[in-house]
Amino acid sequence: MKRLAVILLTLVLALNLAACGNQQTKQQASVLEKDWETILKEAKGTKVNFYGWGGSQMTNSWIDNYLAKRLKEEYDITLNRVGMDIDSILNIMLNEKQMEVKEGTIDVVWINGENFFTAKENDLLFGPFTDKLPNFNKYIDKDSVEVKYDFGFQVEGYEAPYGKAQFVMIHDKARVDKVPVNHEELLQFVKNNPGEFTYPAPPDFTGSAFVRNIIYDIVGYEQFLDMEPKKEVVEEAIKPAIDYFKQLKPYLWKEGKTYPATIAQLDNMFADKEVVMTMSYNPNHVVSKKQTGEFPETASSFVFDKGTIGNTHFLAIPHNAPNKAGALAVINFILSVEAQASKYDPNNWGDLPVLDNDKLNEEEKEVFSKIKIGEGAIRQDVLLEHRLPEMPANLIPIIEEIWMENIPAKGE
């Protein structure tokens, strides 16, 4: 009996692996060699599994109500959104890679930064595929730093831009008269309003961005772009900024003895009027939060004079995506003027478009300029003028570590 079971299991296993193996090699080799028409034909009537962060109702609604609907109409593609945090997605992809699963579950993954680096280093991604996409060739500035690099890593066609984000500060106009436009004014402001300001403790994504932004404001950003990822080097470079944080600390919420662990907590504290400022890596965050009614009508965003950090978020295709043709069609559609404009509309999502303005014709430019950005958000051209490049991802954990060692513990 036992032996029979073992034999059966082995058989099932062998068949499974063999079956997957055959299918995949065929598709893999050919999908990038086919012309676009054939790819679209293959994508027709298929299902595409779209994996990415699912914590924003507006983003989810945009994908479910707009993107999925339009893809069905246009290409007869059924889009299945799976809201999952990127760590779990990477886990699945890594395990599948380890077991050499030839046909995975994920077709499109929403990714950037360190996670993209991890995925690419481990050969988890399919590509380079971007030059296969007609809309990428037509609308995207391929030489732009933001398309070629993702947190300092070379993209090399393994992911296509999805949208742009930029760090902004958010304040309540009813309770803040004059916004601080650099780190010195911020310090002054916090000294005058003790207990009314704080930031999420790194390694929270937004809190970490705030710390980097202050570092940029104090010591400039240029030196970091090709800095050696060594602790002593980084420590030396950011020393003035660390001193600044030490100065700031006693005037923070709870005297800086504790920090909100996540940006979600800070947002809720701002909504509950416990603090007068919050921050976001999404420039239209304030608009969507006002639409959902969480933030007061007087909430508004601002940037520092020297600028704030911006990054691009991307879409990639796992190496074992079961429906690569469908994935290509979906990503191409997302890069269309129509989809990018709909995504930019703050009533839908409010994510900055990635298309190159110079490559749009008058009509297409008109589509974007007609969109009214929400009350409290900053105009796109102002944002772009104040946009600083993101640090190479391998410096970020070092900075977070230095912050951890110097700020929360000291001075107790």
d(CA 81, CA 93): 17
| Dihedral pair phi/psi, residue 280, rounded to 5° | -160, 150
CB of 77 to another protein, least distance (A): 16
Q: Which of residues 310-339 bind another protein (CB under 8 A)?
A: none
Q: Which of residues 241-280 bind another protein (CB under 8 A)?
A: 262-265, 267-268, 271-274
CB of 319 to another protein, least distance (A): 15
Q: Which of residues 20-59 bind another protein (CB under 8 A)?
A: 49, 51, 53-57
d(CA 354, CA 351): 9
Q: Which of residues 364-393 bind another protein (CB under 8 A)?
A: none
In this complex, which beta carbon is closest to another protein, that of residue 249 or of residue 313?
313
In this complex, which beta carbon is closest to another protein, that of residue 30 or of residue 268?
268
Which one-letter amino acid corresponds to residue 4? L
Strand order in the sheet with 168-172: 277-280, 168-172, 299-302
The total of other beta-carbon atoms located within 10 Å of residue 90's CB is 18
| Dihedral pair phi/psi, residue 186, rounded to 5° | -65, -45
d(CA 153, CA 389): 12
- Which two structure tokens, joined as six digits, stand for 71? 């893809």
Q: Which of 76, 85, 121, 222 binds another protein (CB under 8 A)?
A: 85
CB of 305 to another protein, least distance (A): 30
- The DSSP output letter for 125 is B
d(CA 146, CA 172): 31
Q: Which of 1, 5, 29, 99 binds another protein (CB under 8 A)?
A: 99
- The DSSP output letter for 391 is P
Question: Binding segment for another protein among 11-19, 134-142, 243-251, 313-321 (CB under 8 A)?
Answer: 11-19
Q: Which of 195, 229, 296, 397 binds another protein (CB under 8 A)?
A: 296
CB of 197 to another protein, least distance (A): 16
In this complex, which beta carbon is closest to another protein, that of residue 105 or of residue 394?
105
Question: Binding segment for another protein among 81-89, 148-156, 183-191, 403-411 (CB under 8 A)?
Answer: 81-89
| Dihedral pair phi/psi, residue 5, rounded to 5° | -60, -45
| Three-class SS state of 80 | strand
Closest CA to 323 of 45, 10, 3: 45
The footprint of another protein (CB under 8 A) covers: 9, 12-13, 16, 49, 51, 53-57, 60-61, 64-65, 68, 82-85, 88, 91-92, 95-96, 98-99, 101, 105-106, 262-265, 267-268, 271-274, 292-296
